[in-house]
């Protein structure tokens, strides 16, 4: 039994950011292990939610079960990786670019992008950073983040990134209040002309905001009617990820 446990733990250690998703053949090659044994251990780890299998490629990645195992330090498993399966479903639903966005100071930073498969799509790369006041994710972070964050953003200034950017502290404050009430935010071509986005917050075990799920696409496709349909789905997806991180919403 101890040898089996050791092999399973060794397999989990192979799932590094550089390695990406791995299948039974990949694991067998990396560890010099029989493919049948690798397959059985992967299935067992997936059954316990330590791994998640991609239904199309049949390969595996780290799963939410590790959150419970590392509950003393949730950041051992990046929230974006926990969110990935939900994000993939959300992208399939909307067919637009979906992103997991985190905060870095007074900027929003893309942590995990899943681009739309449509020929005309909004590109997104890991590390893309934007001014917080001009993005949907930034507004969500202002709404649900530390009280001091709004003042920090004001100190850095509210430059007009586009003609639609909110540059008035009063208007931004009013918008943040609306976000707090409805639970999601809209970027109405405020960060880039011709592009709209909506975002909802992802929360951790203690209720702190861990990041945001965001949908971004051409304004010609993300019309008001489309956004009205997508917003509830986005909020639902963000809550699903939050629960995987240990968040318990108030009843």
Render pLDDT for 192-239 as a digit per residue (tens, 0 to 9).
999 999 999 999 888 899 999 999 999 999 999 999 999 999 999 999
- CA 163-197-75 angle, 5° bins: 120
Rounded Cα distance between 182 and 135, Å, is 16
Rounded mean pLDDT of the chain?
A: 89
The answer to whether residue 135 scores a pLDDT higher than 50 is: yes
The pLDDT of residue 80: 79
The answer to whether residue 70 scores a pLDDT higher than 90 is: no
The pLDDT of residue 142: 97
Rounded Cα distance between 157 and 142, Å, is 14
The pLDDT of residue 87: 94
The pLDDT of residue 2: 66
Domains in the chain, start-ordered, CATH in brackets?
A: 2-63 (1.10.10.10), 75-244 (3.30.450.40)
- CA 15-244-135 angle, 5° bins: 90
Span 146-168, mean pLDDT? 93
Rounded Cα distance between 101 and 123, Å, is 14
The answer to whether residue 76 scores a pLDDT higher than 50 is: no
Burial 227-248 (b: 16+ CB within 10 A, else e): beebbeebbebbbbbbebbbbe
Q: Which of 1-5, 88-92, 95-99 has the lowest mean pLDDT?
A: 1-5
The pLDDT of residue 236: 96
Q: Which residue has the higher pLDDT, 167 or 56?
A: 167
Position 82 confidence tier, pLDDT thresholds 50, 70, 90? confident
Position 150 confidence tier, pLDDT thresholds 50, 70, 90? very high
Rounded Cα distance between 28 and 26, Å, is 5
Span 6-26, mean pLDDT? 86
The pLDDT of residue 173: 95
Burial 120-140 (b: 16+ CB within 10 A, else e): ebbebeeeeebbbbbbbbbbb
The answer to whether residue 188 scores a pLDDT higher than 90 is: yes
């Amino acid at each position: 039994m101890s040898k089996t446990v050791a092999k399973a733990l060794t397999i989990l250690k192979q799932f590094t950011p550089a390695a990406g998703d791995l299948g039974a053949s990949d694991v067998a090659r990396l560890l010099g292990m029989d493919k049948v044994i690798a397959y059985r251990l992967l299935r067992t780890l997936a059954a316990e939610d330590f791994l998640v299998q991609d239904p199309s490629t049949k390969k595996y990645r780290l799963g939410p079960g590790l959150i419970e195992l590392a509950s003393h330090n949730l950041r051992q498993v990046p929230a974006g990786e926990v969110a990935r399966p939900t994000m993939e479903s959300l992208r399939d639903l909307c067919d637009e670019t979906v992103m997991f966005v985190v905060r870095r100071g007074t900027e929003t930073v893309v942590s995990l992008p899943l681009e739309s498969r449509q020929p005309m799509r909004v590109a997104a790369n890991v590390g893309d950073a934007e001014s917080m006041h001009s993005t949907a994710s930034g507004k969500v972070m202002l709404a649900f983040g530390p009280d001091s964050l709004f003042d920090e953003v004001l100190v850095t200034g509210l430059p007009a990134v586009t003609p639609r950017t909110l540059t008035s502290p009063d208007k931004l404050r009013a918008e943040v209040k609306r976000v707090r009430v409805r639970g999601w935010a809209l970027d109405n071509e405020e960060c880039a002309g011709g592009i709209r986005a909506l975002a909802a917050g992802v929360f951790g075990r203690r209720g702190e905001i861990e990041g945001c799920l965001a949908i971004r696409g051409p304004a010609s496709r993300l019309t008001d009617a489309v956004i009205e349909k997508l917003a509830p789905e986005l909020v639902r997806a963000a809550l699903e990820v939050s629960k995987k991180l240990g968040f318990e919403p108030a009843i």
